[in-house]
Homo-oligomer: A and B are copies of this chain.
Amino acid sequence: MSLRVRKNRVQAPSESCPLTECMSILGGAWTPNIIWFLSESPRRFSELRIDIPRISAKVLTVRLRELEAKGVVSRAVKPTSPPSVEYALTELGGELIPAIESIVKVGYKLKLQAVAS
């Protein structure tokens, strides 16, 4: 089975650099994807699950909680009859976007590179 594509792991070397500090956010599993989608527009839990099909509910929850704890993402429960929760990037979270954009940009080049070679 396993449509698994690739796995990496980030181990924070120490509390030394902010790089590490931040990578503990971006490096975390699907986090970049979550932030990416959230940057387009706020989203509900199930919407994120659709956006990122392969992520499991558990992990999505965990990541979301982490991001929330770090003040990167906000969580708003709307007391509607079917409960809905809206996640959005906070201002701080927005600051991650340029970082991610840089990554996307390079990723794009990398892809071209891969094709070219």
Contact = CB atoms under 8 A, between A and B. Distances in A.
A98 interface: yes
A101 B30 CA distance: 21
Range of interface residues on A (Cβ < 8 Å)? 35 or more
Interface stretch (A20-28, A42-50, A73-81): A20-28
Contacts of A54: 11, 13-14
A11 B24 contact: no
A99 interface: yes
A10 B12 contact: no
Interface of A: 4-15, 17-30, 32-33, 36, 52-55, 70-72, 92, 95-96, 98-111, 113-114, 117
